[in-house]
Amino acid sequence: MTGGAEADPTAPDDEELVFPGLPTTKLALIEVESYTALSNLETFHQIDLAHWHDQVDDGRVRSAAFVTDEEIEILEGLGVHIEDVSDLPTPEEAEDEFLGSIEQTEIEDLISRQQAEQRELELKMQALQTTSATSYSTAFLRSAAAADLELAAVPPPVDDTEFLRVLRADTFTNYSGNFLSIEVRSLFDDTTSANARDDRMEISYEEDGETTTRTLNVFSDAGQYIYHRVSRPVLVRGGTLPDTVEVRLFERLRDAEGELTGEEELLEELVVPTSTWAPYDEIGYPEGFQYGFVPGYLDSVDSTNAITLLHEQYPELTDLVELPNQTNGYQRKAMLAYVATNGTPGESTVNVESLDWGHEGGNQITFEILDTGVAGQDLGVVRDTAGSGNNQRQIVRVTPATDGDGVVTSTAAEVIAAINASDEVNDLVRAFTYRGSEGGGVVPTLGQQNLSDHLNAPTHKIDRGPRDVYMLRIGAHRDGSKTGVFAYSQEHAREWVTPVVAVETATRLLRNYGTDPLTTELVDNLDIFIIPTVNRDGTDYSRYDNTTQRRNLTRYCDELYSDVNARNAWGVDLNRNFARYSLFDGYSGASTSCVSDVFAGPNELSEPEAQNSVWVVEQNPNIRFSMNIHTHGGYFMWAPGTYRTPGRIPAPRPDLGVEEFFFEASETILGRIAEHRGTVIEPGRTGPIIDVLYSAAGNSADHFWYDGLEEGRPVFGWSFEAGANVYTGQGNTGWVSPGGFFPTFMDEGWNQSMEFANGIYGMLEVALEFEQDDQAPTTRPNVRGDVNYDGAADVFFASDEPATVHYTTDGTTPTTDSPTVQRWGHDTHPTGGARDSAEPISLDETTTLKWFGVDVAGNEEAVRELTVYIDEEPPFVADACTDVAPLQFPDVTGGRHADNIRCIGGLGISQGNTDGEYMPGSDVRRDQMATFIANMLRVAGVQLPASPDDAFGDDGGHHELAINQLAELGIVQGRSEGVYAPGRAVTREQMTSFLVNSLEYILDEELAAEASAFTDIAASRHFENIEIAAHLGITQGTTPTTFGPGQNVRRDQMGSFIKRSLDVLAADGYVLTPVR
């Protein structure tokens, strides 16, 4: 079913759109009908949006806009509801928030106070939180604990849900309470308007001992239904987070005329487990960790000086890199609109502009139209000078034509033509009419007025003209051998918090190096690139001239918008100037208008600032992670960042496994953010840019991801939006206000900087794990090879880490060119399966399924194989664990070996240590191995000698009996005469001999070897036993062609070795009996 969008008064029409082009002085909280209407305000009406959005309960959208009084009238004329209007700080009023006005001792006092508050907050949040273990969604290819799923916890053989797609069901705890967030897609109706839809969705959950029911809101974008959701996370009362949520979908019934009757019929209902969102450790910082280094906001000189000083202090750990492209400059032509100060620019206005930059002489020009009172005078233009030396001014004097009474008759057009034709002054200035007018009005005579570039930054600090941009490179090994991480901030000038985040991060990394273990590991093993201020010119303009400046200062406007009143609307949005899926490729979210705050520039990568960022990544191919730091709104996002309209056709989405990596890594990063003061970035504000914010054609994160993808080294690029919503714990949502671009530094600004510097640390931790990852993923399907499935089976996979699963169903061996498990609806649903989970491999006949997983680091799992029997009895497959009650160990929570460990525990082969722990990551010692093998023999019914001879002189202790029993049976011989070496670790090759010797003793036969695919065992003295173990399926190798004979065996791996050996016995008919 489909439906159209309601009429939108913000949509463009054929009338000329109004652009006041005056300095914005106010912040308006506004409310519009939809996200489409919000985008129209920005794209077609040049309304400067703050890019903080918030959906309210009826589907309408709230946002913030920087406006003039004239633009408030325009908004009201468009039907936009204006909720509140406040004055913006002027540069003079904001001066106390910048570096130099705040003492470092004030920051130290703030830290001391906050440390006490953090301890109190930690206790409060611990009291709020209840355990809600991350659950395996019926559709997500989840990681971590999901790899060790009990079969009952994975999806059923056939997923028979018809209309409901549960995308997310998350709970979290922040500083003000417990919250629930849920997203569910309806397949019954895709109408964008909630009132026009033929369905309604609601949820129920338990809070404070009662059942709460809420209707979910419709989220639509660009004329397309996306999903239902709670508009904001809802506050859960009573201190207990719900473990499950009931979701119900109702059909709204219509009469014969198609009108809604007010009655409903239940279509479908599901019970959904919730997951803990972005879990984090304790609030606060490790003992001795240094932080809080930046006492105030920074202009571009401050941020450059900060990283320069860090380089001087830590030359052995840093490089200061001058980027190749200078900015176009903190510079403007000197300008004047010659019009009465209380008049409205129009037909009589003469715009005059210097040909030289203001600082290069333009500011020394004076213009006047002089009324001489002489009758019958011809129009004339002369050049004069006044003053001398540095105070000399060039004067452009116009004497207008007059009639017989001496009344001025020259029009603006005539004066402009005379100026531009005058050889005396046309090498000094140019003149033009106001905003395309005919210039038919008679010019005023207002006396002398000075031209000005209107730049107010102090000249002793802020140089005029093009400037260099610098980057700090941090790392113990800055030679490209380590994984690179690129953090860059202040593409948008008015985002004052962002360079503080960058400088704070850099300073933490260097000041804590050698004392803080995590910091030291990060610097030793990563190559870190930080640009604190990408947009130097715009940054200083925002600081000293126009607080709300977003773009750089480059003017591409023709005369229509080149007048002095338009000066605050010039510049290119650097985060729309990149070259992948840009406006110039037909994608949405940028503008061709030179006065739009999302102006993409005249062409891709036209701006030196964007060229610099691309240069960093291209020159350093080891960069695999990036963070584009922005404010505000509390968003955390990645590719795709743009779509085409109509149809909302996105740039290609990452594979499902890659998107799972984005989500899982994001939770690590967001958990770090929360550890400062309990700020939790909402699940609904985390995800691909287009799914949680808007379309942003030509953004930098997309450029790095897609450009790298083509070259086989994608850059996992995130975009922060610091300044999360502020919660109070009051009302239904606990929400109060957005964080803002210009928060008071000592209150909100410092806290935002600290928590998002934590977030950069989190990204570095993710990159470190990537750098050190040499382990292939382990994947597991939800189906078995010993079950006859009735009619069909839907195959899903779980993995111990995010992975892309390649598979075949025709019996051939899969490769990286084989099909992959994708998100549901990726090629069938209008949303492309946005935020959805895995689409099953649907089988309707007996099929041999072959597959392997690949993680984002490129580690490939060995090809695995399973025959799924449908309407056909499978052959008997021996399983030693059938009917064995598994023993649960508190430290065995997941991983590929978990089931096998619990099985041998249930059989009594291992009982764990005195605390009941299994210690899966520990190496197996030779004395422990003897006890494990002795218990395995007992399980198989072997009667062990009660009083064996003492075979070794170095084996006293708990395991001595088992060692001597195995020696008497001939299973072990020791390392030399009388020496067992009980404390030495068991290697993989030795393990095979332990097990093969045991099996041959039990079976009373010599086992035959067959050639394996292992290429690294020829020199092993255990060669034959390794070949036997491989043939019997006891070992699968470390890769398809390597065994790793000399590697130590961990206790978790040993569990699988023993379990597979027991499978051999079970297949031979042995009855296995648990022992104690």
pLDDT digits 0-9 by tens, 929-938: 999 999 999 9
Full residue range of the structural domain in which residue 351 is found: 333-450
Residue 830 in this model has a pLDDT that exceeds 50: yes
What pLDDT sits at residue 737? Answer: 52
User: What is the mean pLDDT of the segment spanning 997-1016?
Assistant: 88
Nearest CA among 214, 241, 242, 244 for reference residue 228: 214
**Burial class, 239, CB count within 10 angstroms (exposed 0-12 / middle 13-18 / buried 19+):** middle
Average pLDDT, rounded, for the chain: 88
Q: Helix, strand, or coil here: 142?
A: coil
Asked, as a colleague might, if the bond just before 646 is cis with ω within 30 of 0, I would say: yes
* Sheet of strand 380-386, all strands in order from the earlier edge strand to the far edge: 380-386, 393-399, 365-369, 447-450
User: What is the mean pLDDT of the segment spanning 126-155?
Assistant: 37
Asked, as a colleague might, if the bond just before 958 is cis with ω within 30 of 0, I would say: no
224 in a domain, yes or no? Answer: yes
Helices (H), 512-607: 517-525, 536-544
Residue 135 in this model has a pLDDT that exceeds 70: no
* Confidence category of residue 825, pLDDT binned at 50, 70, 90: confident
42 in a domain, yes or no? Answer: no
User: What is the mean pLDDT of the segment spanning 892-902?
Assistant: 88
Beta bridge partners of 531: 488
What pLDDT sits at residue 58? Answer: 62
Q: Spell out the residues 6+ positions from residue 1018 whose beta carbon is closer than 8 angstroms to its own.
A: none
Residue 568 in this model has a pLDDT that exceeds 70: yes
429: left (phi > 0), else alpha (psi -120 to 50), else beta?
Answer: beta
What pLDDT sits at residue 47? Answer: 80
- Per cent of the chain over pLDDT 90 is 58
Q: Do residues 550 and 494 make contact, with C-beta atoms less than 8 angstroms apart?
A: yes
What pLDDT sits at residue 37? Answer: 78
User: What is the mean pLDDT of the segment spanning 588-617?
Assistant: 96
Q: Which residue has the tokens 């791996």?
A: 1053
Residue 119 in this model has a pLDDT that exceeds 50: yes
Q: Do residues 521 and 513 make contact, with C-beta atoms less than 8 angstroms apart?
A: no
What pLDDT sits at residue 128? Answer: 59
For strands 797-799 and 164-174, give the pairing: unpaired
Q: Do residues 795 and 783 make contact, with C-beta atoms less than 8 angstroms apart?
A: yes
pLDDT in tens, 21-64: 566 777 888 888 777 777 778 767 778 777 666 766 666 777 77
Residue 91 in this model has a pLDDT that exceeds 60: yes
Give the CATH number, domain containing residue 662.
3.40.630.10
User: What is the mean pLDDT of the segment spanning 785-795?
Assistant: 86
169 in a domain, yes or no? Answer: yes
* Sheet of strand 61-67, all strands in order from the earlier edge strand to the far edge: 48-55, 61-67, 26-32, 81-87
Nearest CA among 190, 216, 224 for reference residue 36: 224
Could you count the other beta carbons within 10 Å of the beta carbon of residue 956?
12
Q: Are residues 968 and 856 in the same domain?
A: no
Q: Spell out the residues 6+ positions from residue 415 whose beta carbon is closer than 8 angstroms to its own.
A: 350, 369, 379, 398, 400, 431, 443
Q: Helix, strand, or coil here: 773?
A: coil
What pLDDT sits at residue 944? Answer: 92
What pLDDT sits at residue 450? Answer: 97
308: left (phi > 0), else alpha (psi -120 to 50), else beta?
Answer: alpha
User: What is the mean pLDDT of the segment spanning 317-323?
Assistant: 98
For CA atoms 629, 635, 639, 640, give the dihedral sign: negative
80 in a domain, yes or no? Answer: no
Q: Do residues 168 and 835 make contact, with C-beta atoms less than 8 angstroms apart?
A: yes
- Choose, from 607, 682, 721, 839, the residue flagged as catalytic: 721
* Confidence category of residue 270, pLDDT binned at 50, 70, 90: very high
What pLDDT sits at residue 44? Answer: 73
Q: Are residues 927 and 1033 in the same domain?
A: yes
Q: Of the spans 271-280, 502-511, 768-777, 928-937, which averages the highest pLDDT?
A: 502-511
b/e per residue, 283-321, with b = 16+ CB within 10 A? bbbeeeeebbbbbbbbbbbbbbebbeebbeebeebbebb
Q: Which residue has the tokens 């492209």?
A: 325
Q: Are residues 529 and 671 in the same domain?
A: yes
Q: Are residues 513 and 629 in the same domain?
A: yes
* Confidence category of residue 643, pLDDT binned at 50, 70, 90: very high
Q: Are residues 476 and 363 in the same domain?
A: no
Residue 803 in this model has a pLDDT that exceeds 80: yes
Integer angstrom CA distances of residue 306 from 300, 310, 503, 506? 10, 6, 7, 9
Residue 149 in this model has a pLDDT that exceeds 90: no
* 470 vs 42: CA distance, rounded Å: 32
Q: Which residue has the tokens 């409901």?
A: 164
* 177 vs 199: CA distance, rounded Å: 32
Nearest CA among 612, 667, 662, 620 for reference residue 641: 662
| Helix pair 926-939, 988-1003: axis angle to 10 deg | 30
What pLDDT sits at residue 1036? Answer: 80
**Burial class, 8, CB count within 10 angstroms (exposed 0-12 / middle 13-18 / buried 19+):** middle
Domain end point (choices 851, 870, 889): 870
Residue 154 in this model has a pLDDT that exceeds 80: no
Nearest CA among 670, 483, 698 for reference residue 588: 698
Q: Are residues 613 and 751 in the same domain?
A: yes
Higher-pLDDT residue of 96 and 244 is 244
Residue 137 in this model has a pLDDT that exceeds 80: no
Q: Are residues 261 and 403 in the same domain?
A: no
634 in a domain, yes or no? Answer: yes
Strands (E), 275-362: 275-276, 318-322, 333-338, 350-357
* 118 vs 98: CA distance, rounded Å: 26
* 325 vs 610: CA distance, rounded Å: 9
398 in a domain, yes or no? Answer: yes
For CA atoms 944, 946, 951, 954, give the dihedral sign: positive
Taking the model in full, what pTM does it have?
0.81
Residue 145 in this model has a pLDDT that exceeds 60: no
Higher-pLDDT residue of 93 and 366 is 366
- Per cent of the chain over pLDDT 70 is 91
Q: Are residues 704 and 816 in the same domain?
A: no
pLDDT in tens, 274-309: 998 888 877 889 999 999 999 999 999 999 999 999
Q: Do residues 625 and 488 make contact, with C-beta atoms less than 8 angstroms apart?
A: no
* Confidence category of residue 706, pLDDT binned at 50, 70, 90: very high
User: What is the mean pLDDT of the segment spanning 727-750?
Assistant: 66
* 993 vs 230: CA distance, rounded Å: 59
432 in a domain, yes or no? Answer: yes
Q: Spell out the residues 6+ positions from residue 20 whose beta carbon is closer than 8 angstroms to its own.
A: 68, 70, 71, 74, 565
Nearest CA among 127, 131, 155, 138 for reference residue 242: 131
Q: Are residues 790 and 701 in the same domain?
A: no
Q: Spell out the residues 6+ positions from residue 627 whose beta carbon is closer than 8 angstroms to its own.
A: 485, 486, 487, 488, 717, 718, 719, 720, 759, 760, 763
Q: Are residues 174 and 269 in the same domain?
A: yes
Domain count, the chain: 5
* Confidence category of residue 896, pLDDT binned at 50, 70, 90: confident
* Confidence category of residue 603, pLDDT binned at 50, 70, 90: very high
Domain end point (choices 711, 745, 772): 772
* Confidence category of residue 92, pLDDT binned at 50, 70, 90: confident
Q: Do residues 745 and 736 make contact, with C-beta atoms less than 8 angstroms apart?
A: no
For strands 365-369 and 447-450, give the pairing: antiparallel
Domain end point (choices 407, 429, 450): 450
421 in a domain, yes or no? Answer: yes
Q: Is 721 a catalytic residue?
A: yes
pLDDT in tens, 434-479: 999 999 999 999 999 999 999 999 999 999 999 999 999 999 999 9
* 47 vs 72: CA distance, rounded Å: 10
Could you count the other beta carbons within 10 Å of the beta carbon of residue 376?
10
Q: Are residues 476 and 614 in the same domain?
A: yes
For CA atoms 522, 524, 526, 532, give the dihedral sign: positive
Q: CA angle, corner 689, sides to 683 and 695, nearest 5? A: 140
Q: Are residues 736 and 803 in the same domain?
A: no
What pLDDT sits at residue 111? Answer: 86
Give the CATH number, domain containing residue 198.
2.60.40
Supply 124's token pair.
């409060």
